Chain A
Amino acid sequence: MITIQGKSFIQGSANGIALATSEPLSFWGGYDWKTGEIIDRRHPLSGMIAKDKILVIPFTRGSSTTTAVLLEAIRAKTAPKAIITTSTDFFFALASVVADELYKMPIPLIAVNKNEFEKIKTDDEVEIDEKGMITVTLKT
C-alpha cells in the first residue's frame, strides 16, 4: 500500500478501481458518454470502460469539446468516479464546476507529480480523501 499527497483542484472523496494510462486523451472522439467506454482507437485504453473507475490520465489533448463530453457523462452517470492527472486540467475542472452548478454533482479531480503518477496502475484500488490524500492498494 502506498500513499500519495495530491493537490485537489476540485475537492471531494472517492474510491474505486484505477484505470491508468500515460497517454493523454481527448474525450471528444475518445469517450463514449452513453457507455463510459474509451473509443479513441489510437489510444492504449481503447475499449476499456472508465465508468465508475478512478481514471488516471496525465491531461486532456485535442478538442475543446472534451469538457462538454465529460459533463454529459456526469449527468448520465457514466463518468469516472474521480480523475487523477499530472497537473491542473482546465477542461476536466470546468466539467466538474458546471456539473456542480447545474446538478450539484461535481467529481473530484486531483493532480499529483509525475513520479507519483506513474506508481498508480490499472486495477489498483484507489481511495481519495477531501484533503487530496490518495491511498493506493496495489493489485498484486
Chain B
Amino acid sequence: MTLSLTTKDQAMLQGDFGPATQMAMKILVRMAEVSGATELLDIVGAHIDSTVYIGDAGLEFAEKLASLGAKVSVPTTLNVSGLDEHHWQEWAVTNEWAKQAHRQMIAYQSMGTIPTWTCAPYQTEYKPKFGDQIAWGESNAIAFANSVIGARTERYPDLFDICCAITARAPAIGLHLTHNRAGKILLRLKNIPLALQESDEFYPVLGHLMGKISLDKIPVIQGLEYIPNEDQLKALAAAGASSGSVAMFHIIGVTPEAGTFESAFQNNQPQEIIEVTMDVLRESRKELTHQTSEVSLDLVVLGSPHFSLAEFKQLAPLVKGKRKHENVKFLVTSSRAMTQLAKQAGFSDDLQNFGAQLTVDTCILTSPMLPKEIKYLMTNSAKFAYYSPGLLGKQITFGSLKDCVESAVAGKVIRDESLWK
C-alpha cells in the first residue's frame, strides 16, 4: 500500500503554498511513508511541544521554518518553553541559555500560534472536543486528550507537531483510527481501600505502574469505585506517559470510550490480565522515590503537569498561616493564565506568605533553573519524580500534597504512611 495524496497535499509538497509549508509537507509525507499510512487526514487543532529548548538543532529547525514564513493553519497552542520569560533571573538560568531559549519562543510565537506556554493545554479554553482529530505533542497532554477527552491524536514527537499545524494534515495512523483505540491489557484493582482511591496520591502511583506494565499497549483499568477529578486523571496520564509510552488508557465507567468493559476492549478479550494489589502499588510508590538520604530536603516542587486553578485552591488552605522552613525552597510551576486566575481568586497571598515561589512558561525539567546546591527534592508529581534523577542529577522523594507542605515546614521529609498500610 502506498501513500495517496490529495491535489492540495501535492500542491503543498510542490511549494505552491510557500517554502515553509513545502518543508513541513515534505517531512510529513516522509514520516507518513515510514509509518505505513495510506493517506493523510484533516486536523482541527495542534499543540506544539517543539517549543521546549534542547539545543542548537531544535532552534535551527524553528528559525528555519520561521524565516521561510511559516504560519499555522489550525488553532495551535504552545507547550512549555525553556524559560520563564519574565522571571528567569531569579534562578540559576544562564544568560546564554536564556538568549537561545527566548529565540526559540519568538520563532514559534511568530507562526500565528497561541502563546499558552503550558503542558496542560487541556485545561485552557482551547481544549479539544470528543472526536476531534488533532496533532498534539507533549506526552502527558497526548494521553489526557485521547483518554479523558476522547479527542484523537497519535503520540507525536517534537518537530512533527508543528509540521501538522502548518499543513493542517496528519498521517491517518494509530490513535486517529477507531480500531487502534481498543484496550489491550486489563489492570484489575483488587482490594484497594476506597480512602486510597479517593486520595490524590493514588493516581501518580497507579499511573507509574500502568506505564511500566503496559509500555506501548493500551491499558484498561477496572474496579475503580470512585470517579476521579480532572487533576487526578491528569496525574494518572502524566505518570503513565513517563514510565511507559501510554498515549491512551481507559477506565471502565469513567473515560468516554469505556462506558462498559466491551466498549473499552471493542468487543475483544484482553491480551493480558494483571491484578493490581496493595503490594504492587506499594512497590510502585517506592520506585517513585530516588533518594539515598531519608530526610534531606532542599526544594519542594509542584506542578508537573502545570498546576491548575483547582490545585491552587487545594494548596491554599494547606499553607495558610504557615511558613516554610528557611532552608527549603517551595516552588509551584504553572501557566500564566492559571497563576493569574489563582491571584484573582485570592490564593496567591497565602502562598506568598508561606514563602512559595511561582514559575510560569516552563518547569524544572525544561529550564536549567535549579542551582547546584539544591540536591534533594520532594514532589507530588510522578513526572517530576521519574525524570529528575536522569535529567537533573537530583535525588527526589515522592509524597502527597500534604506531605510536601508539612515537609517544607519541618525542613525535612515527612510522609504520612497511613493510606499505604
- Does B216 lie within 8 Å of A61, measured CB to CB? yes
Q: Give bound CA distance, A63 to B49, whole Å.
A: 10
CB-contact partner of B159 in A30, A88, A94, under 8 A: A94
Chain A CB within 8 A of B374 CB = no
- Closest A residue to B79 using CB positions: A64
**A100, closest chain B residue (CB):** B30
Contact check: which of B23, B31, B60, B139 meets A90 at CB < 8 Å?
A: B31
What residues on B are CB-neighbors of A9 within 8 Å? Answer: 34
Give chain B residues whose Cβ lies under 8 Å from the Cβ of A10. 34
12 example contacts (A-B, Cβ-Cβ < 8 A) are as follows A59-B245, A61-B243, A63-B139, A64-B155, A71-B58, A72-B55, A75-B56, A75-B60, A90-B156, A95-B159, A98-B159, A102-B57
* CB of A93 within 8 Å of the partner chain: yes
Contact across chains for B390 and A39 when beta carbons are under 8 A apart = yes
| Cβ-defined partner of B27 (8 Å) among A26, A69, A101 | A101
B320 at the interface (CB under 8 A from A): no
Of A42, A64, A74, the residue contacting B49 (CB under 8 A) is: A64
Measured in the bound complex, the distance between the Cα atoms of B403 and A61 in whole Å is 30
Asked whether, in the complex, the Cβ of B290 is within 8 Å of the Cβ of A33, the reply is no
Instruction: Kindly list chain B residues whose C-beta atoms are within 8 Å of the C-beta of A95.
Output: 157, 159
The answer to whether A67 touches B215, judged by C-beta atoms less than 8 angstroms apart, is: no
Residues in B with CB closer than 8 Å to A28 are 387, 391
- The answer to whether A101 and B23 touch across the interface, beta carbons within 8 angstroms, is yes
Q: Is the CB of B390 within 8 A of A40?
A: yes
| A129 CB, min distance to chain B CBs, angstroms | 19
How many chain B residues have a CB neighbour from A under 8 Å? 47
Query: Interface digits, B346-364 against A, CB 8 Å rule (1 contact, 0 not)?
Result: 0000000000000000000
Chain B residue nearest to A89 (CB atoms) is B34
In this complex, the interface size class of chain A, counting residues with CB under 8 Å from chain B, is 35 or more
Query: A88-B36, A90-B34, A94-B159 in contact; A64/B142 too (CB < 8 A)?
Result: yes
Beyond A101-B26, A102-B64, whether A29 also contacts B58 by CB under 8 A is no
Closest-by-CB residue of A relative to B26 is: A101
C-alpha gap A28/B159 in the complex (Å): 14
* Segment 214-270 of B: residues with Cβ below 8 Å from A: 215-216, 241-245
CB–CB B58/A93 < 8 A: no
Give per-residue flags for A57-91: 1 if the beta carbon is below 8 A from chain B beta carbons, else 0. 00111111111110110111000000000001011
When each residue 81-124 of chain A gets 1 if its CB lies under 8 Å from chain B and 0 otherwise, what string results? 00000001011011101110110000000000000000000000
Beyond known contacts A29-B386, A64-B49, A90-B35: 10 more, CB 8 A cutoff: A29-B391, A59-B216, A59-B245, A61-B215, A62-B241, A64-B158, A66-B157, A76-B55, A90-B156, A102-B57
